[in-house]
């Protein structure tokens, strides 16, 4: 029995097992934040809290009636704080926190499978719904297929030097299971975009935009206005890690139906770093813009690692550290303009 009337939301989460929600027939929507932080969220969160989390909280407060519950990952302190806030102030909502391993290993894979089983039991108990192993496996293969399709589009975009827009990136980052007609149309349109050849196009330095969230939200338009173009985007939602095959798990009791994952996605491990290096190596990237959100310790650590990689490859690296916002300040405009001029 499935429940298509259930509507849940998540903020950021590359390790959420989307196939579980597909199998239960649950609508899952991503709350992306709109770049605004109101008095409401500032009342509950300290001033040094991640402004992206506060923007998401504003949306949750405004649209509380739309959602039956929320799904979180324990990726960072801000998401844990938001989870705790909703538990206390919205007790009628169904809220679940997925504990994500911080390293990529066989033990991490076992741990993640246990977390997935907890999520399945949570949904069964809270919403009184059931699913079969066959349906779950079918949806898992569907997620795998569409994810592979997206990766091919991402690769074609970068290799053909196709400029990305904010909406293009949102389409590629959306929950892979929401295969409704509008989403299918946008994804197919993006694939067609990679096949078009532009003649007599003026030179524009190709850029890699990096960071957990795109911020400010108009940064891609600002880059375009000053003569650059974003051909690739790198964040925690689109990383590829070393694959772990099921056979490697040996005699683990989770190697049967429950253990169908090939990899585990973790924060700042060697797989994510390796993908960043591969993009600089394989794509015609002339510069990197790393846009970080203030007071985000994960990104602060990442800036050090990635800037060193870019430095070794002699690729210019610009760091923008600002609050999650809707538009670039005059200072950011100036820095982006000067950076792009140096690449021309």
* pLDDT value at residue 333: 95
132 contact partners, CB below 8 Å, separation of at least 6 = none
| Euclidean distance between CA atoms 310 and 189, whole angstroms | 32
Report the DSSP pairing between strands 229-234 and 206-210.
Answer: parallel
* pLDDT value at residue 265: 46
C-alpha triplet 143, 145, 149: angle, nearest 5°: 115
Which residues, listed in sequence order, are joined to residue 318 by a DSSP beta bridge?
289
Buried b (16+ CB within 10 A) or exposed e, 134-162: ebbeebbebbeebeeebeebbeebbeebb
The DSSP secondary structure of 46-82, one letter per residue, reads: -TTS-HHHHHHHHHHHHTGGG-SEEEEE-SSHHHHHH
| Euclidean distance between CA atoms 69 and 49, whole angstroms | 23
Quickly tell me which residue has 């509950």 as its tokens. Answer: 44
283 contact partners, CB below 8 Å, separation of at least 6 = 158, 159, 206, 208, 231, 232
Q: Which strand (E) or helix (H) includes residue 207?
A: strand 206-210
Quickly tell me which residue has 């649950």 as its tokens. Answer: 26
pTM value is 0.81
| Euclidean distance between CA atoms 238 and 275, whole angstroms | 10
Q: How far apart are the first and last CA of the chain?
A: 59
User: What is the pLDDT tens value at each position of the chain, 344 positions in all?
Assistant: 556 689 999 987 667 888 898 888 888 888 888 888 777 777 877 777 788 888 889 999 888 899 999 999 887 888 888 999 999 999 999 999 998 776 666 677 788 888 999 999 999 999 988 888 888 888 888 888 877 888 888 888 888 888 888 888 878 777 655 545 556 677 777 777 777 655 545 668 899 998 877 888 899 999 999 999 999 888 755 444 333 333 333 333 333 344 445 454 444 555 677 788 888 988 889 999 998 888 777 777 778 888 899 999 999 999 998 888 888 889 999 999 999 999 87
Describe the crossing of helices 77-89 and 51-62 by its angle, rounded to 10 degrees: 30
Which residues, listed in sequence order, are joined to residue 223 by a DSSP beta bridge?
none
Architecture of domain 7-132: 3-Layer(aba) Sandwich (3.40)
**Bond from prior residue into 56 cis (ω within 30 degrees of 0):** no
For residue 227, the SS3 value is coil
- Domains in the chain: boundaries: 7-132
Furthest C-alpha separation in the chain: 61
| Euclidean distance between CA atoms 275 and 237, whole angstroms | 12
- Residue 128, CA distances (Å) to 67, 131, 150 in order: 17, 11, 34
Q: Do residues 318 and 341 lie in contact, with contact meaning Cβ atoms separated by under 8 Å? A: no
């Amino acid at each position: 029995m499935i429940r298509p009337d259930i509507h849940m939301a998540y903020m950021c989460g590359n390790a959420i097992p989307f196939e579980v929600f597909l199998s239960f027939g649950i609508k899952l929507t991503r709350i992306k934040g709109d770049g605004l932080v109101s008095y409401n969220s500032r009342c509950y969160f300290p001033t040094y809290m991640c402004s992206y989390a506060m923007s998401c909280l504003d949306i949750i407060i405004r649209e509380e009636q739309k959602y039956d519950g929320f799904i979180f990952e324990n990726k960072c302190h801000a998401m844990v704080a938001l989870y705790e806030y909703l538990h206390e102030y919205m007790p009628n909502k169904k809220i679940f926190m997925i504990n994500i391993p911080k390293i990529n290993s066989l033990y991490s894979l076992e741990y993640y499978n246990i977390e997935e089983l907890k999520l399945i039991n949570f949904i069964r108990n809270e919403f009184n719904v059931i699913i079969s192993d066959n349906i779950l496996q079918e949806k898992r293969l569907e997620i795998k297929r569409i994810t592979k399709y997206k990766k091919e589009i991402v690769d074609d975009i970068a290799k053909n030097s196709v400029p990305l827009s904010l909406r293009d990136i949102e389409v590629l980052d959306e929950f892979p299971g929401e295969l409704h007609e509008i989403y299918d149309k946008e994804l197919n349109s993006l694939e067609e975009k990679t096949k078009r050849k532009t003649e007599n196009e003026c030179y524009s330095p190709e850029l890699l935009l990096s960071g957990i969230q795109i911020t400010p939200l108009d940064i891609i338009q600002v880059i375009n206005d000053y003569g650059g173009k974003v051909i690739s985007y790198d964040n925690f939602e689109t990383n590829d890690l070393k694959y772990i095959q099921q056979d490697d798990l040996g005699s683990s009791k989770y190697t049967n139906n429950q253990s169908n994952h090939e990899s585990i996605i973790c924060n700042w491990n060697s797989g994510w770093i390796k993908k960043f290096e591969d993009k600089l190596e394989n794509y015609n990237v002339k510069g990197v813009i790393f846009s970080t959100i203030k007071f985000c310790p994960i990104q602060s650590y990442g800036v050090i690692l990635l800037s060193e990689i870019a430095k070794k490859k002699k690729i210019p690296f610009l760091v923008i550290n600002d609050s999650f916002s809707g538009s670039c300040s005059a200072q950011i405009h100036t820095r982006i303009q000067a950076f792009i001029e140096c690449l021309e």
